[in-house]
Amino acid sequence: MTANVGTVDRIVRAVIGVVLLLAALGGGLDAVAYPYVKYAAIAVGVVMLVVATVRVCPIYMIFGLRTCPRS
């Protein structure tokens, strides 16, 4: 698979992923007190970090989007 996530996109995804995981696991927000919201935040945070790490976004592939320069 070719990379379709650029550097700025990776940084934004990583920051959002870490913030979601910290909010869900740290319990800093009242919104994550509900179990479904907490588990959803954990799932989305993990997915964001995985996409930032591997630089491949399946949703971008479906729509033919790229945020990185062609190599």
Q: The tokens of 59 are what?
A: 């949703």
pLDDT for the residue 16: 97
pLDDT for the residue 26: 84
Instruction: Decide: 6 and 65 in contact? Cβ < 8 Å.
Output: no
Of the chain, the end-to-end C-alpha distance in Å amounts to: 13
pLDDT for the residue 35: 85
More confident residue, 1 or 62: 62
Using a pLDDT cut of 70, give the percent of the chain over it: 92
Largest CA distance in the chain: 44
37-63 residue pLDDT tens: 889 999 999 999 999 999 999 999 999
